[in-house]
Structure 1
Amino acid sequence: MIDLLSYILIGLGLVFWFWGTSHLLGKRSVLFKLHSLSVADTLGSMAIVVGLFLQRPNEWPLLLLGIISLAIWNTVLGYVLAYCSSTEGSHE
């Protein structure tokens, strides 16, 4: 049962990855595309890491560190992108 749940989470993570990548083909702004991609990649990666946790519960410290790193990195990256897009016209 745990193996099935693990495979479902890993599969869901892959679906999020491909779903986020599909937004790159749209006609919206670059920032919308990057936001969609980063959110989908973060959720997909976290689902995969949780699926791996179910497979390897003895490795929980490293997997927890991976989830925390994903959350912090993508949050900071979002703020950097927002800052760069808001100050783009003020550079001389």
Structure 2
Amino acid sequence: MSKISRDSDIVELDGPPEFEYGEKVRSRLNIRNDGTFPGKEIGEVLVKKGDEGYVVSIGTFLQQFYIYGVDFVSQGRKVGMKGREIEPVEQAESVIEKDVA
């Protein structure tokens, strides 16, 4: 019998969403099409690390994760992302400012 592998044993749905509607966020990773984004090839990059967008929806996946619909306005696409794939823009900017100081 094979084991089912999950991204994490943590169930995010035990608490409130990490991000809010309208919050400006930044991609922490390059995000590729896993086959769920219409009109793009599987494996094609949808969002590059550092791209910024706004949370426009909050859903769930596998009764375990929040999925944030992020509107990347400059790319003209909305992409579903896990919380670990994005960060608040304000937090990222404050880290950069501390590194510079």
TM-score normalised to structure 2 length: 0.26
Name the structure where helix makes up a greater proportion of residues.
1
Rg comparison, structure with higher value: 1
